A and B are shown apart, each in its own frame.
Chain A
Amino acid sequence: MAGNGEIKEDGGKGVKDMVMERIKSIKDIPPEENMLPGTPACAGCGGLLALRHCMKALGRKIVIVNAAGCFTLLTIYPYTPFKNSWLYTAMACAPAGAQGIRDALDILIKKGRLDPEEDLKVVVLTGDGSAYDMSLSSTSGAINRNLDFYYICYDNESYGNTGVQWSGATPFASKTGTTPPGRICPIGSELAKKDLFAIWNSHKPPYLATISPAHPVDLINKFKKAEQYKGPKLFIALSPCPPGWGIDSSYTVKLAKLAVDTGVWALKEAVFGVVTHTVVPKRFKQVEEYLQVQGRFAHLFKPVRQEAALNKIQEEVNEYWNRHKLLL
């Protein structure tokens, strides 16, 4: 079984969390797998790859509070890929579920009804449909209450679990089931992707970061850094989705890299509101390189090249990096 380097169970109570230093290369990624294979996630799921690394960083003394989305189906009775606890809530309220668990653990420990050794980190897991749209209210509430929790959003830029429809995270000019390019609207979705990072950052949480499944070292170090803060620790992972993005399952990592290298997905973090970019490409690739390999943008190239839309996408990326004075 996929258990090389597994932590030995010692009958429960003394399950040790890994102690991690900041890592330098892929070789330093902890070998322990805290999420086992056999999940129903699609072959090549970018979100699952991101989550796998998040789980390595978080260790096993966690409880995941899951919102409705693709990862609802990670645990289908009687199977779970996890060695840690999990609770499925509903689409709008995973942060509220986290609140209840965090508070209950605190009370039970305080009242002496739970051994402090039994304490868990509380981790919300949602897709972008939940994070960007339906659970904005409950997330804002949890951040505002300074809830001590982690939040991982696997952002595949659509309602993926229902078969790829437009969400607040869907980028401009993307084809989805509810934004089909046609004669009246040849570019697909006409709205811009919400800036969830900025929305969350307006609450000035202790720690907030964007991550990428293609940058596991950056990802793990961000979790490591976040660990020192009590309060909300929030992560958004741009997660290439083979069926949703119209890419071969083997292209997931390639696309995740291209998103960073073209400047479409800025890898950054914010500590109490102050933003720093963690990975800045030395030379930005043209955004077209990222777009043209994806089925969801194919209509921008064929049958008619949608020049205005393509320019707009590139300009917005340029504008972002100019604003941050990082466009070399």
Chain B
Amino acid sequence: MYRLRFHGRGGQGARVASKVLGTAAFLDGYYAQDFPLYGAERRGAPVAASTRISEDPIMERGVISAPDIVIVMDETLLQDPLTMPVSGIKQGGIVLINTAHSPEEAKVEYKITAQVLTLDITKIGLDMLGTPILSTLAGGVAARIVGLSEDSLRDAVKKILSEIITDKRLLDKNVAAALYCFNAITPAKIELKTTDTIKKKSTVISVPFEPATVSSPAINATGNTPLRMTGNWRVFRPDWNYDSCTRCMICVARCPDGCILVNEDGYPYTDYDNCKGCLICVEECPTNSLGKVREVHTKKVIGK
């Protein structure tokens, strides 16, 4: 059995990617199972989805804790301590990362011991679809890695997307993009050296009692959401050109997240740690002092 886990952000298409893969495997005659896990319907929030593919009936349910293959659709998730997309990956398993980095760079950058493949899926999505919705593309990549047929992938994309969208042209573009991704990577061979996971075995404990001052679901800290670093969500970043900025403060008033601050000279600037990249500021700036550039996340960008 192959166990695949997709990690993306809400709206990016991890759930649909897992369905595309599950359907393609089903069409190829395998037993298949796919399953999304998301906290709440929220664009940008971490989302995981699982697909199992097997020649025998599948006796598992729920989130895959020890995957053979992980598809990281959003590179920034690798730095999210709550998500930990590569957790549990088996030795010899494969991690595919949506990044502009080479596999070697990514392996070092994110300290991954499993095999790493990379593909800039976002760029392909923007070029071929015009949006960074990567469901069918990630499904295409995954289908290739597990060795499914191109025909089944094509049929699966058509089937799944026709349930969601009515635009025939967009559907065709997705089929093309999925197949492009399918053929864009050379799959590594999954060489599981052991069925053990890299994760340490955990022990069941007896939870001690704590008084309600501690154990009620109340938060005594204040204003600590900036620790969540929602700057990770950005696909595009607002880019400043101060030559034309008139310090009109419109951008400051328009930012839903309060991520545009003002320096001592009265010039606004972006809190990139938290800016989600909605680009309202770019849209609203009356002097075109803000542009947008594709975000390429590295550690250097995150955290100013």
- Binary interface encoding of chain B residues 19-42 relative to chain A, with 1 for a CB under 8 A from any of its CBs, else 0: 000000000000000000001111
Please give, as numbers and ranges, the residues of chain A lying within 8 Å of B11 by CB-CB distance.
42, 243
Q: Does B248 contact A (CB under 8 A)?
A: yes
Which of A42, A49, A76 has the most chain B CB within a 10 Å cutoff?
A42
Is the CB–CB distance between A2 and B274 below 8 Å? yes
Is the CB–CB distance between B223 and A36 below 8 Å? yes
Is the CB–CB distance between B257 and A37 below 8 Å? yes
Alpha-carbon gap, A253 to B222, bound state (A):
28
Alpha-carbon gap, A242 to B43, bound state (A):
9
Is the CB–CB distance between A41 and B274 below 8 Å? no
| Distance from A219 Cβ to chain B, minimum over Cβ atoms (Å) | 10
Is the CB–CB distance between A79 and B256 below 8 Å? no
Q: Does A38 contact B (CB under 8 A)?
A: yes
Which residue on B lies nearest to A214, using beta carbons? B254
Alpha-carbon gap, A252 to B230, bound state (A):
19
Which residue on A lies nearest to B277, using beta carbons? A43
Q: Does B189 contact A (CB under 8 A)?
A: no
Binds B, one of A80-88, A141-149, A197-205, A259-267: A80-88
Is the CB–CB distance between A2 and B271 below 8 Å? yes
Per the 8 Å Cβ criterion, residues 254-304 of B in contact with A are 254-259, 261-263, 271, 274-280, 282-284
| Distance from A84 Cβ to chain B, minimum over Cβ atoms (Å) | 8
Please give, as numbers and ranges, the residues of chain B lying within 8 Å of A2 by CB-CB distance.
226, 258-259, 261, 271, 274
| Distance from A28 Cβ to chain B, minimum over Cβ atoms (Å) | 9
Please give, as numbers and ranges, the residues of chain B lying within 8 Å of A52 by CB-CB distance.
255-258
Q: How large is the interface on A (under 10, 10 to 19, 20 to 34, 35 or more residues)?
A: 35 or more
Per the 8 Å Cβ criterion, residues 54-73 of A in contact with B are 70, 73
Is the CB–CB distance between A80 and B219 below 8 Å? yes
Q: Does A172 contact B (CB under 8 A)?
A: no
Is the CB–CB distance between A37 and B219 below 8 Å? no
| Distance from A173 Cβ to chain B, minimum over Cβ atoms (Å) | 17
Q: Does A19 contact B (CB under 8 A)?
A: no
Is the CB–CB distance between A36 and B278 below 8 Å? no
Known contacts A2-B261, A38-B230; A46/B256 CB under 8 A:
yes
Please give, as numbers and ranges, the residues of chain A lying within 8 Å of B221 by CB-CB distance.
78, 80
Is the CB–CB distance between A253 and B223 below 8 Å? no
Other-chain residue from A79, A243, A250, A253 in contact with B43 (beta carbon distance below 8 A): A243
Which residue on B lies nearest to A72, using beta carbons? B40
| Distance from B28 Cβ to chain A, minimum over Cβ atoms (Å) | 31
Is the CB–CB distance between B224 and A252 below 8 Å? no
Known contacts A4-B261, A78-B221, A249-B280; A26/B41 CB under 8 A:
no
Q: Does B249 contact A (CB under 8 A)?
A: yes
Known contacts A38-B228, A82-B223, A250-B280; A29/B253 CB under 8 A:
yes
Alpha-carbon gap, A74 to B258, bound state (A):
14
Alpha-carbon gap, A33 to B255, bound state (A):
12
Is the CB–CB distance between B225 and A80 below 8 Å? yes
Alpha-carbon gap, A248 to B224, bound state (A):
28
Alpha-carbon gap, A38 to B226, bound state (A):
5
Please give, as numbers and ranges, the residues of chain A lying within 8 Å of B43 by CB-CB distance.
42-43, 242-243, 249
Q: Does A186 contact B (CB under 8 A)?
A: no
Please give, as numbers and ranges, the residues of chain A lying within 8 Å of B230 by CB-CB distance.
37-40
Other-chain residue from A48, A77, A164 in contact with B219 (beta carbon distance below 8 A): A77
Is the CB–CB distance between B219 and A43 below 8 Å? no
Alpha-carbon gap, A146 to B15, bound state (A):
47
Known contacts A162-B41, A253-B283; A38/B274 CB under 8 A:
yes
Is the CB–CB distance between B249 and A37 below 8 Å? no
Is the CB–CB distance between B222 and A82 below 8 Å? yes
Alpha-carbon gap, A52 to B278, bound state (A):
16
Which residue on B lies nearest to A29, using beta carbons? B253
Other-chain residue from A4, A78, A250 in contact with B262 (beta carbon distance below 8 A): A4
Known contacts A80-B225, A243-B11; A41/B42 CB under 8 A:
yes
Is the CB–CB distance between A79 and B259 below 8 Å? no
Is the CB–CB distance between A48 and B257 below 8 Å? yes
Is the CB–CB distance between B42 and A79 below 8 Å? no
Chain B residues within 8 Å of A, Cβ to Cβ: 10-11, 39-45, 217, 219, 221-230, 233, 248-250, 252-259, 261-263, 271, 274-280, 282-284
Chain A residues within 8 Å of B, Cβ to Cβ: 1-2, 4-5, 26-27, 29, 31, 33, 35-46, 48-49, 52-53, 70, 73-84, 160-164, 213, 216, 242-243, 248-254
A-B contact pairs, 30 of them (CB 8 A): A2-B261, A4-B261, A26-B250, A37-B257, A38-B226, A39-B230, A39-B257, A40-B39, A40-B228, A40-B230, A41-B257, A43-B43, A43-B44, A44-B280, A49-B280, A52-B255, A52-B257, A73-B40, A74-B225, A77-B217, A77-B219, A80-B219, A80-B225, A82-B222, A82-B223, A160-B41, A248-B279, A249-B277, A249-B279, A250-B282
Identify the 4 closest CB pairs spanning chains A and B, nearest first: A38-B225, A44-B278, A37-B274, A43-B276
